Structure 1
């Protein structure tokens, strides 16, 4: 199975390195020397990691297929995917692949059916579970332990600690005291 692990940014220097927008919790593993990645484009192509290094908090990657800056610039904005076996798990037991979470049933801490995970949204600040509610609407729930205290892959469910407005944004209790008067 192919899993998105990053997006190629702008070229760095003249030797073909590119900055990466990392989309994996295991960049040292996915961008290791010799790793073969596949572009997510109309005409997918394979890129071989020649080297990678961290520079000023940013991952720089050199691909064998991009020997210079001109070739590296042609790769900009391509998404990269890595082949991951179906039974592979992240090294950290508290981490999950998106494919493991999508399709899980959602329950509240009180045991009520709350919907199904339909997507995982990755933002720079945090990840969000997109949950389709029984009524058909969708809500976004931050994937943090305080709000998602339990993920049971074997049982095929996640538990969401419902807070006012979290699973039913239109039902949030807002009083005049909650609104900051200007």
Structure 2
């Protein structure tokens, strides 16, 4: 199983740098210059199977990464949405963060309200600078973003195949 280190966002500047959404507590180690990271991208996207970190820097709180294989902004644009991954077997279990969940653990879980009534299904996890958000597909097909905080998602039961969502009034009405 692969562990996602970061997801590539938009290009920054003209020299092939990209923004990244971090999925690791160790960005300095995982994104060190010279590190080679495997990629997960859409089939046919032309994204290389691995990228070598050329440079990293933090600009206004956002991590910017350049890769040896991507010399310019055009190449960087093609990386948008690509996941940078490492082999999960190389990962030591994070004993200090029992409440951390990987996206692949959450996708497919049933979303229920506190009384156990079905709301829908978890279809994704969006990482944010302030907080992460679960992407739920409701029974009517709409997708909504739910802040992934204990006050709103008080229970995640991966083995039981469900998450409890105690949404404040109106939250589930804000979908697309």
Q: Same fold (TM over 0.5)?
A: yes
Q: Secondary structure in 1 aligned to 2:72?
A: helix
Q: How does 1:95-134 map to 2 (within 5 A)?
A: 95-122=100-127, 125-134=130-139
Asked if the contact 1:131/1:138 (under 8 Å) is kept, the reply is yes
Point out the structure with max Rg over C-alpha. Answer: 1
Asked if the contact 1:52/1:59 (under 8 Å) is kept, the reply is yes
Distance across 1 between alignment mates of 2:120 and 2:40: 33
How far has the Cα of 1:139 moved from its partner?
3.2
Higher relative contact order (CA 8 A, sep 6+): 2
Q: Secondary structure in 2 aligned to 1:48?
A: strand
How far has the Cα of 1:143 moved from its partner?
1.5
Q: How does 1:147-166 map to 2 (within 5 A)?
A: 147-166=152-171
Distance across 2 between alignment mates of 1:99 and 1:83: 12
Asked if the contact 2:16/2:76 (under 8 Å) is kept, the reply is no
| Structure 1 residues without counterparts, runs of 5 or longer | 171-182
Q: Secondary structure in 1 aligned to 2:28?
A: helix
Q: Secondary structure in 2 aligned to 1:59?
A: strand
Coordinate RMSD, CA, aligned: 3.3
- Give the paired residue count: 161
Q: Secondary structure in 2 aligned to 1:147?
A: coil
How far has the Cα of 1:29 moved from its partner?
4.3
